[in-house]
Structure 1
């Protein structure tokens, strides 16, 4: 594996798992009142575009990181809507 690919996988892993504590907090507290829905929607749109870009480049680190981030943040959006 090339160093740059490994670097991309590590970066993607860190930025992706950064959202897990927020997801767990919203899930457990059943509250997302302090999270901006507009921010989540804008962020998810950006992540979706990164995912499309990664697919176009066939770049596994970009695809994996943004695919998982999109799933995690989409769950947060769903919980935000559900709990409000």
Structure 2
């Protein structure tokens, strides 16, 4: 059964995950990462990874789903940053 808390969690996860999509598209299109902070993306990758582990530990699917997808997007940006320095 989906609770109101789950719905709010999925909505929050969708919005915060979607926030990274324009950056991924921009980097893939332009192959330019000069204005992207390497330090910020390393820190956010670790933070999102920890949120994903936390979500798995507490059994929260909204947290797991949002952070799994966000981690993929952030790692794509980080990989492109390292590749196109």
For normalisation by structure 2, the TM-score amounts to: 0.97
* Aligned residue-pair number: 84
Q: Which residue of 2 aligns with 1:56?
A: 57
Q: What are the within-5 Å matches in structure 2 for residues 3-82 of structure 1?
A: 3-82=4-83
Distance 2:3 2:40 in 1: 35
Question: What are the Cα deviations for residues 31-77 of structure 1, in whole angstroms up to 9, with x where unaligned?
Answer: 00000101000011000000000000010000000000000000000
State the shift of 1:24 in Å: 0.3
Distance 1:25 1:47 in 2: 21
Question: What do you get for the CA RMSD once the two structures are aligned?
Answer: 0.5
User: Which sections of structure 1, spanning at least 5 residues, go unmatched?
Assistant: none
For normalisation by structure 1, the TM-score amounts to: 0.98
Q: Which runs of 4+ in 1 moved over 2 A?
A: none
User: Which sections of structure 2, spanning at least 5 residues, go unmatched?
Assistant: none
